[in-house]
Amino acid sequence: MSNFIKHIFQPGSDHREETPALQIISRDEHSISRSQISDAALKVLYRLHNAGYEALLVGGGVRDTLLGMSPKDFDVATDATPEQVNKLFRNSRLIGRRFKLVHVVFGREVIEVATFRAPPTDEHSDKIAATGDQGMILRDNVYGNREEDAMRRDFTINALYYNIADFSLYAYAGGWHDLKQRQLRLIGDPETRYREDPVRMLRAIRFLGKLNGFTLAPDTAAPIPMLAPLLEQIPSARMFDECLKLFLAGKACETLELLRNYQLFGHIFPGTEQCLRDDDQACELALNTMRNTDKRIQAGKSVTPYFFLASLLWPQVARVAREFESAGMAPHPALQKAADRVLAQQIRHTAIPKRFSIPMREIWELQLRLPKIQSRKARELLTHPRFRAAYDFLLLREQSGEDLGGVGKWWTRLQEDEGVPEAPRRSKSYTDEEQRPPRKRRRRPSSSQNNNQRRG
Ligand code: ATP
Ligand code: MG
């Protein structure tokens, strides 16, 4: 056992002491067969293998296949450098600076090929692995061997390698055992690994949501609430990508609850977290948004991130707009100014590309216009490019307990072409506090349940 592998075995920490660093599971002892691997991934594996390089499937492709799920994508690990891989495949491109990779492109399928990584220590003469003040890995381009690569991965169940040379499975750090126990366990010392890359905390939550029946190992769960503030150091563009992965995977309801329980959510959407704490209707709206998103995904329908984000940020926008209105501003400019402020605060945490923030603003703005059904111009809104999203959002607000004077129904009937119904009682803008039903007391999930880049 190499020194590096030895040091991840903490004395007294559960099964790791008895678990061999490497366990080889022969082809007849595991369930993966080549028929479950995409043709594109097989092509990449075989070409690397035939060129004399190591070629193994790793990560979600192995994990999900073993769990009887269909993998989202296939990742390949090799001892060939990114440049060597790039030379071998005409249909490939080098990507990433902080973590160099090769994407081999087959139509819509992309196979990610990563060169084995070594631990980020200064003993490497090229010193291209860099660690920041807080232990965060800034670049991770020191190449190593398969064993070292396994130790750089996040969870033990993500360090299972399917070797195309002999179809055997290589499990490191107890990954085979953990897979059978349905346990998510970080490789190495959890606190160090979260500090190296705080996004691993979000990955833990994502896998918990995605993998049925899995639990977080206690020592993997424990440091999360304490280290949650480290998320604020992650570049906002990466956080945005992670958020989409978190919420658009069909398990948004569970994910929101887990993020809140582990005190992570407030470091991603601080303004929303505040509203969720203060306002039961905001909680209801967030839950309905998640349910709605999950249902659409389960039904194979598309989900637009802007709808989802518009809804998550709405309670804040409405709150700030109310403040501006109380200071004497007219509703429309108040809403616009509130949108500016809320978006400016949010993009410090999660970058929101313009292609999403523009429609978000339109949805918000239409929340002021849709209630004005007496206006002669009301019908014109039906042709507004964002009408459908804004109308769906209006219904979601009503469903979450906001009394908008029945305008949702009015728009529904208008679209069903039953003629324009008699306008319901004049609806006031969402900013009218007295229109809201009395607040009900609801139990909020407890803030702390358990006390828990690459590409860092
Ligand atoms: P899925 O593709 O279903 O989201 P995955 O586990 O394949 O899950 P990827 O983001 O595709 O996730 O990453 C592939 C593999 O790379 C992971 O299984 C893991 O071994 C490794 N990895 C990815 N991100 C990190 C990280 N932040 N820290 C350490 N290892 C990571
Ligand atoms: Mg993957």
CATH superfamily of 1-188: Beta Polymerase, domain 2 (3.30.460.10)
What is the Å distance from ligand 1's center to 244 Cα?
A: 15
What is the Å distance from ligand 1's center to 70 Cα?
A: 16
Residue found under tokens 């809140």:
260
Output the pLDDT for position 137: 67
Nearest ligand, CA of residue 245? 1
| Nearest CA owner, ligand 1 atom 27 | 454
Tokens standing for residue 338: 């509130």
Output the pLDDT for position 206: 96
Find the residues whose C-beta lies inside 6 A of ligand 1.
Answer: 58-60, 72-73, 75, 153-154, 158, 197, 199-200, 203, 453-455
DSSP code of residue 186: B
β-bridge pairing 160-163 and 137-139: unpaired
Output the pLDDT for position 381: 85
| Nearest CA owner, ligand 1 atom 15 | 59
Highest mean pLDDT among 111-125, 158-172, 394-408: 158-172
Closest by CA to 222, choosing from 7, 448, 13, 454, is 448
What are 317-330's pLDDT values in tens digits?
999 999 999 999 99
Residue 196 Cα: closest atom of ligand 1: 28
β-bridge pairing 75-78 and 160-163: unpaired
Closest by CA to 136, choosing from 31, 216, 63, 229, is 229
As to burial, measured by CB atoms within 10 angstroms (0-12 exposed, 13-18 middle, 19+ buried), residue 11 is exposed
Domain 198-424 belongs to what topology? cca-adding enzyme, domain 2 (1.10.3090)
Output the pLDDT for position 20: 54
Picking from 12-26, 222-236, 289-303, which range would have the lowest pLDDT averaged per residue?
A: 12-26
The mean pLDDT of the chain is 85
| Nearest CA owner, ligand 1 atom 7 | 60
What is the Å distance from ligand 1's center to 60 Cα?
A: 7
Give the mutation target among 154, 193, 200, 234 for probing the ligand 1 site: most ligand atoms within 8 A of CB.
154
As to burial, measured by CB atoms within 10 angstroms (0-12 exposed, 13-18 middle, 19+ buried), residue 120 is buried
What are 246-278's pLDDT values in tens digits?
999 999 999 999 999 999 999 999 999 999 999
| Percent of the chain predicted with pLDDT > 70 | 82
| Nearest CA owner, ligand 1 atom 4 | 60
Three-state DSSP state, 6:
helix
Question: According to CATH, where is 1.10.3090.10 located in the chain?
Answer: 198-424
Residue found under tokens 């005409």:
90
Q: Pick the residue with more confidence: 310 or 425?
A: 310
Q: How far apart are the first and last CA of the chain?
A: 27
CA-based R_g, the chain, Å: 25
Asked if pLDDT for residue 331 goes beyond 70, the answer is yes
Output the pLDDT for position 448: 36
What is the Å distance from ligand 2's center to 455 Cα?
A: 13
Query: Which residue of the set 14, 73, 219, 279 is catalytic?
Result: 73
Instruction: Tell me how far apart the alpha carbons of residues 194 and 266 are, in angstroms, rounded to a whole number.
Output: 17
β-bridge pairing 92-95 and 101-106: antiparallel
Instruction: Tell me how far apart the alpha carbons of residues 293 and 255 are, in angstroms, rounded to a whole number.
Output: 12
Q: Within a 10 A sphere around the Cβ of 47, how many other Cβ atoms?
A: 15
Give the mutation target among 197, 203, 214, 238 for probing the ligand 1 site: most ligand atoms within 8 A of CB.
203
As to burial, measured by CB atoms within 10 angstroms (0-12 exposed, 13-18 middle, 19+ buried), residue 22 is middle
Nearest ligand, CA of residue 207? 1
Q: Please give the full DSSP string across 281-296, using - where no structure is assigned.
A: HHHHHHHHHHHHHHHH
Q: Is there a catalytic annotation at residue 73?
A: yes
Output the pLDDT for position 134: 67
Q: Is there a catalytic annotation at residue 403?
A: no
Residue 245 Cα: closest atom of ligand 1: 4
Single-letter code of the amino acid located at 397: R
Q: In which element (H, E) is residue 163 found?
A: strand 160-163
Asked if pLDDT for residue 455 goes beyond 70, the answer is no
Q: Pick the residue with more confidence: 413 or 138?
A: 413
Instruction: Tell me how far apart the alpha carbons of residues 153 and 8 are, in angstroms, rounded to a whole number.
Output: 13
Output the pLDDT for position 441: 43
Strands (E), 209-277: 215-216
Question: According to CATH, where is 3.30.460.10 located in the chain?
Answer: 1-188
Asked if pLDDT for residue 140 goes beyond 80, the answer is no
| Nearest CA owner, ligand 1 atom 8 | 60
Closest by CA to 401, choosing from 370, 439, 431, is 439
Phi, psi at 143, each rounded to 5°: -90, 150
The Cα-based distances of 329 to 365, 429, 431 in angstroms read 15, 14, 12
Phi, psi at 161, each rounded to 5°: -115, 130
| Nearest CA owner, ligand 1 atom 18 | 59
Nearest ligand, CA of residue 203? 1
For the chain, what is the largest distance between any 2 Cα atoms, rounded to a whole number of angstroms? 79
What is the Å distance from ligand 1's center to 364 Cα?
A: 36
Closest by CA to 440, choosing from 330, 281, 221, is 281
Asked if pLDDT for residue 10 goes beyond 70, the answer is no
pLDDT confidence of 130, banded at 50, 70, 90?
A: low
Picking from 6-10, 258-262, 309-313, which range would have the lowest pLDDT averaged per residue?
A: 6-10
The Cα-based distances of 224 to 37, 156, 323 in angstroms read 34, 18, 35
Query: Which residue of the set 64, 140, 149, 154 is catalytic?
Result: 154
Q: What angle do CA 45, 51, 55 make, to 5 degrees?
A: 30
What are 98-121's pLDDT values in tens digits?
789 999 999 999 999 999 998 766
Give bridge partners of residue 115 from the DSSP assignment.
78
| Nearest CA owner, ligand 1 atom 12 | 60
Picking from 20-24, 35-39, 148-152, 214-218, which range would have the lowest pLDDT averaged per residue?
A: 20-24
What is the Å distance from ligand 2's center to 269 Cα?
A: 25
Q: Is there a catalytic annotation at residue 75?
A: yes
Q: What angle do CA 130, 135, 139 make, to 5 degrees?
A: 25
pTM of the complete model: 0.84
